[in-house]
Chains A and B, each alone.
Chain A
């Protein structure tokens, strides 16, 4: 018997449930990450100007944070995008609902960030439709890691995309939070994390005020306080604009799904925090 001629049926010939993979093989022109890969100059490893992302003329998303609270997990972000020393947008959305029980927030170059969020949403929906059931929370987080990894060539050109991912895990009945590095490394955090140019300032506030199992109202207040402090310290982060009524985006992910905290509640909490600052 000639065993070399025996081949197993190949499952991968079946259309894959990943939309990203489908695009890679069938429509690479539609992929956001690889589009300019060949048209940009290749950066040398010693050229620091290309490695630095701080003063590139692409709009940059700035402070986004996430932490767990008693029902699930909260994710929030400011609304400012900057282009060098100019403000590119003051109503930008950096927090996106990705499916019924998950959301992501992004920091980095605005264009690729928004495209990654859009593609990730389609990716999850596509899988759910083809497979008949949604991915698990862990599966979604891994999938996003693959997409961040695929973006690595663009990082060398300064187009950094750093997401935060939150989801409700139905099996464990908890909200979970994942952070990523530029190479696609995925790390789970049980408490809190913040990324972006004001991420460090937001993290120091969260370190002070974060408690395990905060009730919902208190959690919203902590999130806004952290964003307010980040806006105080970082030029790239926009604070709440009480005059034009622009408030940070805050989303809550729990067993019932993803909810937006409405503007009325955000306005009340922001006003209270600003008052608190005036008194001290």
Chain B
């Protein structure tokens, strides 16, 4: 009987991580940023119908970078989990923290046990009753979670974009207009110099709304906000 080739666990994990990173590097970036009335999501997405940002529950939004089919599955699983939980307990009991934990478990298991890891990076945000209670989570292909404040970014050019935002972010919480301007500049400088509002997908989690806080911001409205 032929023995299988020996590959050290370190080598195997490293290979998988490299594979996943390569896949994510091809993906376009998404920024989430806290603003005075909630959380703003901006995605570099030329398609007007295939969304990268979506609603999970009343005050929770989701966004994925990397392989579409994979983060789409994770998005659907998240919505199902949230709806079942909200029905079993109450709508307030559905939290981004527990969803982030769930995603971390799924991605962690897939990364260590499957042949091919998921080539995705996820961004999960929950708008709180007060700005201090907002939650932003970034979840990587290997299941690691980072709890962020003020802003975060995922996708291929996220490092460049994060570096740019760190320099420009004001001390106080920006208004929607300021936040959108910051994000647009970050995309212009960090990702694509030709990026304009048409190529951006914008959505907000608006604290002032009742019930479902998630709302898409069409290009026309985004232009008006920036004007």
- Which residues of A pack against B, CB within 8 Å? 15, 19, 22-23, 27, 30, 118-119, 122, 125-126, 129-130, 132
Structural contact, A129 and B56, CB atoms closer than 8 A: yes
Structural contact, A118 and B79, CB atoms closer than 8 A: no
> Once the chains are docked, how many angstroms separate the CA of A30 from the CA of B54?
26
In the complex, which of the residues B55, B84, B87 contacts A129, with contact meaning CB atoms closer than 8 Å?
B55
Structural contact, A30 and B87, CB atoms closer than 8 A: yes
Task: Please classify how large the interface on chain B is, using the bins under 10, 10 to 19, 20 to 34, 35 or more.
Answer: 10 to 19
* Nearest A-chain residue to B82, judged by Cβ: A129
Structural contact, B83 and A118, CB atoms closer than 8 A: no
> Once the chains are docked, how many angstroms separate the CA of A22 from the CA of B83?
11
With A30-B87, A118-B87, A119-B87 known as contacts, the answer to whether A132 contacts B80 (CB < 8 A) is no
A98 to chain B minimum Cβ distance, whole angstroms, is 12
Number of A-B contacts defined by CB within 8 Å: 31
Structural contact, A30 and B76, CB atoms closer than 8 A: no
In the complex, which of the residues B79, B84, B86, B212 contacts A130, with contact meaning CB atoms closer than 8 Å?
B79
- Interface secondary structure of B, over-half rule: helix
Structural contact, A126 and B88, CB atoms closer than 8 A: no
Structural contact, B76 and A125, CB atoms closer than 8 A: no
Structural contact, A126 and B83, CB atoms closer than 8 A: yes
> Once the chains are docked, how many angstroms separate the CA of A122 from the CA of B86?
9
* Nearest A-chain residue to B87, judged by Cβ: A122
A27: which B residues are within 8 A, CB to CB? 84
B124 to chain A minimum Cβ distance, whole angstroms, is 14
In the complex, which of the residues A22, A23, A30, A132 contacts B51, with contact meaning CB atoms closer than 8 Å?
A132
Structural contact, A126 and B79, CB atoms closer than 8 A: yes
Structural contact, A15 and B87, CB atoms closer than 8 A: no
A147 to chain B minimum Cβ distance, whole angstroms, is 14
B76: which A residues are within 8 A, CB to CB? 15, 130
Structural contact, B80 and A22, CB atoms closer than 8 A: yes
* Nearest A-chain residue to B77, judged by Cβ: A15
B88 to chain A minimum Cβ distance, whole angstroms, is 7
A125: which B residues are within 8 A, CB to CB? 83, 212
B43-86 with Cβ < 8 A to chain A: 49, 51, 54-56, 73, 76-77, 79-80, 83-84, 86
A118: which B residues are within 8 A, CB to CB? 87
B57 to chain A minimum Cβ distance, whole angstroms, is 8
* Nearest A-chain residue to B91, judged by Cβ: A122
> Once the chains are docked, how many angstroms separate the CA of A15 from the CA of B55?
17
Between-chain CB contacts (< 8 Å), 22 pairs: A15-B76, A15-B77, A19-B83, A22-B80, A23-B84, A27-B84, A30-B84, A118-B87, A119-B87, A122-B83, A122-B87, A125-B83, A125-B212, A126-B79, A126-B80, A126-B83, A129-B54, A129-B55, A129-B56, A130-B76, A132-B51, A132-B54
> Once the chains are docked, how many angstroms separate the CA of A22 from the CA of B55?
19
In the complex, which of the residues A19, A30, A130 contacts B88, with contact meaning CB atoms closer than 8 Å?
A30
Tell me which of B54, B80, B88 has the highest count of chain A C-beta atoms within 10 A of its own C-beta: B80
B56: which A residues are within 8 A, CB to CB? 129
A26 to chain B minimum Cβ distance, whole angstroms, is 8
A15: which B residues are within 8 A, CB to CB? 73, 76-77, 80
> Once the chains are docked, how many angstroms separate the CA of A129 from the CA of B214?
11
> Once the chains are docked, how many angstroms separate the CA of A130 from the CA of B84?
14
A23: which B residues are within 8 A, CB to CB? 84
B49: which A residues are within 8 A, CB to CB? 132
B226 to chain A minimum Cβ distance, whole angstroms, is 25
B152 to chain A minimum Cβ distance, whole angstroms, is 22
Tell me which of A30, A119, A129 has the highest count of chain B C-beta atoms within 10 A of its own C-beta: A129
> Once the chains are docked, how many angstroms separate the CA of A137 from the CA of B194?
41
> Once the chains are docked, how many angstroms separate the CA of A79 from the CA of B179?
47
A67 to chain B minimum Cβ distance, whole angstroms, is 27
> Once the chains are docked, how many angstroms separate the CA of A237 from the CA of B159?
65
B27-53 with Cβ < 8 A to chain A: 49, 51
* Nearest A-chain residue to B88, judged by Cβ: A30
* Nearest A-chain residue to B76, judged by Cβ: A15
A22: which B residues are within 8 A, CB to CB? 80
> Once the chains are docked, how many angstroms separate the CA of A22 from the CA of B84?
10
**8 nearest A-B residue pairs (beta carbon):** A15-B76, A129-B79, A126-B83, A129-B55, A122-B83, A19-B83, A122-B87, A130-B76
* Nearest A-chain residue to B212, judged by Cβ: A125
> Once the chains are docked, how many angstroms separate the CA of A1 from the CA of B81?
44
